[in-house]
Structure formats: C-alpha cells, structure tokens
C-alpha cells in the first residue's frame, strides 16, 4: 500500500509538469501516374541511387523543368525587347535622363 501511496504522491507532484500533446500533420498532394520506357527507368534509377525516393526525384525533375521553361520564356522576352528599336531608343533616352540628374 505504501508504494501505491508514494506513486500517487509522485504523480500529484509531477502533474503540472506532465503535458499531453497531440499533433496531426495533413498534407494534401495529388497523385501522378506515368508510363516509363527503358531510358526513363535508367534515368530514374540514376537519380535515386543516392537514396532519393522515386517521388522526390520526379518532383525535383518537374520543378527543374518548370524553372527552365520560365527562364527560357524570360530570355525570349528579353531578346524581343532588345531587338525592338523603339524599346532600345526609349531605354537609351531614359539612361541619358538618369545621367543628367545623377548626384555625382
């Protein structure tokens, strides 16, 4: 009985220090199913050889392709502006105006 009483006292003494925490993480992700050929299988095997999961490798590849596409679009837009005589003239005029009001 003494042990039970001591356990009860210990629990009572520690009660303010005992916390129960419950957490849940919910991540909503879509699912993508693809068919692979031998070349894709080899590439995927190479990308996952360091422990990266197939899903992580595919996600990284899609994001890399997306970034490259955005860069290519920006390069094309910049080239179009650089080739536009009106835009080039406006840029030069603005540069001259900025030079004229330069502090030093």
Residue 34's contacts (CB-CB under 8 Å, 6 or more residues apart) are 58
Per-residue pLDDT of 6-44, as tens digits, reads 777 767 776 665 566 677 777 778 888 999 999 999 999
Distances (CA, A) of 36 to 26, 32, 43, 68: 30, 12, 10, 22
DSSP string, 40-73: HHHHHHHHTTTS--HHHHHHHHHHHHHHHHHHHH
Total-model pTM = 0.58
- What pLDDT score does 29 carry? 80
* Averaged confidence pLDDT in the chain: 87
Per-residue pLDDT of 56-67, as tens digits, reads 999 999 999 999
């Amino acid at each position: 009985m003494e042990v039970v009483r001591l356990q009860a006292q210990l629990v009572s003494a520690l009660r303010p220090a005992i916390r129960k925490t419950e957490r849940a993480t919910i991540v909503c992700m879509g699912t993508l199913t693809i068919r692979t050929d031998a070349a894709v299988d080899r590439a995927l095997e190479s990308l996952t050889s360091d422990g990266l999961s197939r899903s992580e490798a595919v996600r990284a590849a899609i994001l890399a392709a997306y970034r490259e596409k955005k860069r290519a679009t920006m390069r094309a837009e910049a080239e179009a502006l650089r080739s536009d005589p009106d835009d080039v003239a406006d840029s030069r005029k603005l540069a001259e105006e900025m030079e004229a009001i330069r502090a030093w």
